[in-house]
Structure 1
Amino acid sequence: MITEIAQIDIHPGQEEEFEEAVAQALPFFLAADGCHGVDLHRSVENPSRYRLMVRWDTVEHHTVTFRSSAGFARWRALAGPHFAAPPQVEHVYSVLAP
């Protein structure tokens, strides 16, 4: 399993609207082929910074299948207006788990 970690900086003052946009977009992620869950984390030190963590079967389920879907377009339409900069995305896998 692969975890996508997207660091997303949003326009200050739009935190509540961004969180609502992510909540509205959640079904698009969960319906995507290869998606196993989504978490959204907000920074304590930088309250306009979030980390979206999405669990995928493979990197391609995110970068090819989801990104070419209508669900991705709808996610970006909802959340994109709040982005202060393009999200920084990386994919990781666990090497040590309890």
Structure 2
Amino acid sequence: MVYELAVIRIHDGKQAEFEAAAKQAIPLFQRAKGCSGMEIRHSVETPTEYHLIVKWATLENHTVDFRESEDFQTWRGLVGPFFAQPPAVQHLDTLFVGF
């Protein structure tokens, strides 16, 4: 399992609109090959910062299957207008889980 972590910074004052658009995108991830869950978390300290966390079976499920799909274009069309800058994306392996 690989986790995608995207740090998303949006334009100030657009939080409610971004959140509504991101919620509309849930089905895009639900039907994506190799995706077993996604969540968006909101920064407490930085109101314009969100973290998208997606669980992928393989790195390629994200970087190839999803990124080259029409659903990815739909995702970017929904949330992209709110980006203050391009998201910072990285992929993470689980080293261990405490409790």
Give the TM-score range, shorter chain.
over 0.9
**Partner Cα distance (2:39, 2:8) in 1:** 13
Unpaired runs of 5+ residues, structure 2, are none
**Partner Cα distance (1:48, 1:16) in 2:** 11
- Corresponding residue number in structure 1 for 2:47: 47
> Residues 15-73 of structure 1: CA distance to partner in whole angstroms, max 9, x if unpaired?
00001111001100110000000010000110100000000001110010000001000
User: Share of identical aligned residues, percent?
Assistant: 48
Q: Give the aligned CA root-mean-square deviation in angstroms.
A: 0.6
**Partner Cα distance (1:88, 1:30) in 2:** 22
TM-score between both structures, scaled by the size of structure 1? 0.98
Report the count of equivalent residues.
98
TM-score between both structures, scaled by the size of structure 2? 0.97
Task: Report the secondary structure of 1:13's partner residue.
Answer: coil
- Corresponding residue number in structure 2 for 1:28: 28
Offset at residue 93 of structure 1 (A)? 1.1
Unpaired runs of 5+ residues, structure 1, are none
